[in-house]
Structure 1
Amino acid sequence: MNDSSTTAAVRPVVRTAADVARLVADRPRPSKGAAAVVILALGGIFMDAYDFSSIAFGITEIRRQFGLDALMTGVVNAAIMVGSVVGASVGGVLVDRLGRYRLFMADMVFFVVAAIGCALAPDEWWLIFFRFIMGIGVGLDLPVAMAFLAEFSSLRGKGNRSQRVNAWSPAWYAATGFGYLVVLIAFLALPESGQPLLWRIVVGFGAVPALVVLLVRRRFLKESPQWLANQGDLRGAVDILRSAYDIDAELAPDAVTARRTTPTANWKAFARLWSPTYRIRTIVALCVSVFSTFGYNAVAYGTPLIISTLFQQGPLITIGSSLVINLLFGVGGGLVGVALVSKAGARRLALVGFALQAAALLILAVVGIPTGPLIAVAVGMLALFIFAQAGGPGAQLMSYATLSYPTSLRGTGVGFNEAVKRVFSVISLFFFPILAGALQSGVFWIIAIFPMLGVLALLVFRWDPVGVDTDAEEYRSQA
Structure 2
Amino acid sequence: MTTDTTATQRRSGPSYTIVVALLGAFLDGYDLVIISGALLFIKADLHLSPGQVGWVAATAFAGMVVGALVFGWLTDHIGRAGAFGFVLALFVVGSLVSALAVTPLMLIAGRAIVGLGIGADLPVSTTLIAESAPRHTRGSMTGLMQVFWFAGATCSGLIGLGMYALLGADSWRWMLASAIVIAAIVMVLRQRVPESTRWVKAHHTTPAATAVPRQTWSILFSPGIRAALAFSCLFWFLVTIRGAGYNLYTPTFLREIGLSGVTVSLGLSTIVNLVNTLAALIGVYYLDRIGRRRIILWCWAIPTALTFVLAAISGGNAIAMFVMICVSALPLQILAMALFALSVEPFPTLVRGTAQSLSSASGKAGGFIAVLAFPPLLAALGWQNMTLTLAAIMTAGLIIGLLLKIPETRRRSLESLEHDLAQPSRPAEAP
Residues 260 and 381 of structure 1: CA distance in aligned 2, closer, same or farther (over 3 Å): farther
Match in the other structure for 1:208:
181
Q: Is the 8 A contact 1:230 1:259 kept in 2?
A: yes
Match in the other structure for 1:347:
293
1:383 to 326, 332, 342: 326
Give secondary structure in 2 for the equivalent of 1:275.
coil
Measured against aligned partners, the alpha-carbon deviations of 1:94-152 in whole angstroms (never above 9, x if no partner) come to 00000011111011111211111111111111111111111111111011100111011
Residues 359 and 259 of structure 1: CA distance in aligned 2, closer, same or farther (over 3 Å): closer
Q: Is the 8 A contact 2:130 2:341 kept in 1?
A: no
In 2, Cα distance between the equivalents of 1:340 and 1:288? 19
- Cα drift, residue 429 of structure 1: 1.2
My pick for the range that moved more, 452-461 or 80-89, is 452-461
1:422 and 2:368 correspond: no
Q: With structure 2 as the length reference, what TM-score do the two structures score?
A: 0.90
- Cα drift, residue 390 of structure 1: 0.9
In 1, Cα distance between the equivalents of 2:417 and 2:300? 30
1:271 and 2:243 correspond: no
Q: Look up the equivalent residue of 2:331 and give its one-letter code.
A: A
Residues 89 and 178 of structure 1: CA distance in aligned 2, closer, same or farther (over 3 Å): same
1:36 and 2:16 correspond: yes
Paired positions, count: 411
Superposed, which structure 2 residues align to 1:206-355 within 5 Å? 206-218=179-191, 220-232=192-204, 258=205, 260-262=207-209, 265-266=212-213, 268-327=215-274, 329-355=275-301
2:143 to 166, 169, 180: 166
- Cα drift, residue 311 of structure 1: 4.4
Q: Look up the equivalent residue of 2:130 and give its one-letter code.
A: A
Match in the other structure for 2:122:
142
1:111 to 72, 84, 91: 91
Unaligned runs of 5+ in 1: 1-13, 15-30, 233-257
Superposed, which structure 2 residues align to 1:70-109 within 5 Å? 70-109=50-89
Match in the other structure for 2:426:
none
1:155 and 2:101 correspond: no
RMSD: 2.1
Q: Look up the equivalent residue of 2:381 and give its one-letter code.
A: L
Residues 302 and 102 of structure 1: CA distance in aligned 2, closer, same or farther (over 3 Å): same
Q: Is the 8 A contact 2:311 2:388 kept in 1?
A: yes
Give secondary structure in 1 for the equivalent of 2:35.
coil
Q: Is the 8 A contact 1:351 1:454 kept in 2?
A: no
Bigger Rg over Cα: 1
Unaligned runs of 5+ in 2: 2-10, 424-431
Q: Is the 8 A contact 2:238 2:366 kept in 1?
A: no
Identity of aligned residues (%): 25
In 1, Cα distance between the equivalents of 2:396 and 2:412? 26
Q: Is the 8 A contact 1:84 1:137 kept in 2?
A: yes
Q: Is the 8 A contact 2:347 2:418 kept in 1?
A: no
Q: Look up the equivalent residue of 2:341 and give its one-letter code.
A: S
Q: With structure 1 as the length reference, what TM-score do the two structures score?
A: 0.81
In 1, Cα distance between the equivalents of 2:34 and 2:217? 33
In 2, Cα distance between the equivalents of 1:260 and 1:335? 41
In 2, Cα distance between the equivalents of 1:89 and 1:315? 37
In 1, Cα distance between the equivalents of 2:239 and 2:392? 11
Q: Is the 8 A contact 2:138 2:288 kept in 1?
A: no
Match in the other structure for 1:471:
415
In 2, Cα distance between the equivalents of 1:102 and 1:83? 21
